[in-house]
Amino acid sequence: MDKLLIIDDDSTLRRFLGEFLQNELFEVITASNGIEGLRAAYGQKPDLVVLDVMMPGMDGWEVAARLRELSDVPIIFLTAKTSEADKLRGFKLGVDDYLTKPFSFAELTARIQAVLARARRAAVSSVHHLVQVGDLVIDLDRREVRRGDDIIPLTPTEYRLIEYLSRYPQRAVSEAELVEGVWGDYRSEDTAALRRYIWLLRQKVEPDPTQPRIILTVRGFGYRLGTNEGVEK
């Protein structure tokens, strides 16, 4: 039974939608605001989050951004906003689908099932794209970084940093491009925040963080991966 988390400040919608989805054989958790929703997401580990955008206090944009810092859980936005700019903003956040209000419960259920099915297919994909730098292997399909048989534990933000660099192994990436590629244009992170994350990442992936060989600094510009020893597909 898939576990769903509904984050919406409308108590009537939460109640009726929760009952409908339970009848569709989902386990349902609900939260009335962004803070409560984040706590539920981290504590309950749902398989998918249904997230309202327009909430008082912490809105859905901020909730989605914080979820993406620590989790790749699929997210479906519910919102009255219908502009293309708002939809693009949601997809840049890493949201998987977008449903405008008013909506039918049956349509939402179909979209939940489709997003969950895509997530399962991605999880069992047998094709692996590997980037190797020195003795470090970045598995772009499994979203993990290994040294030998040991998986290096990275936060989602740390992983997105090294993933972005690994997709352009032959060139330097500017700090501005990295900031937008990792956080998008919906957050105000600056180059100082980027440098802090680079420092944290180096503590985990470099044999000697004081003498980086994996993530190299391009002075006055940005960063690049060290010598690439091969890409497998």
Report pLDDT digits (tens) over 106-140.
999 999 999 998 887 766 554 457 888 888 999 88
Q: What is the pTM for the complete model shown? A: 0.58
| Tens of pLDDT, residues 162-181 | 998 988 777 889 998 888 88
Pairing relationship of beta strands 27-31 and 3-7 according to DSSP bridges: parallel
Q: Rounded distance, CA 173 to CA 198, Å?
A: 13
Q: Rounded distance, CA 6 to CA 9, Å?
A: 10
| Tens of pLDDT, residues 209-222 | 999 999 999 999 99
> Rounded to the nearest 5 degrees, what angle is found at the Cα of 205, between the Cα atoms of 70 and 214?
120
Task: Answer whether residue 80 shows pLDDT above 60.
Answer: yes
Q: Which domains does the chain have, with CATH numbers?
A: 3-123 (3.40.50.2300), 130-232 (1.10.10.10)
Q: Tell me the one-letter amino acid at 222.
A: G
Residues 222 and 172 sit within 8 Å (Cβ to Cβ): yes
Mean pLDDT of 43-68: 92
Q: How confident is the model at residue 48 (pLDDT cuts 50, 70, 90)?
A: very high
Task: Answer whether residue 228 shows pLDDT above 50.
Answer: no
Q: Rounded distance, CA 161 to CA 227, Å?
A: 17
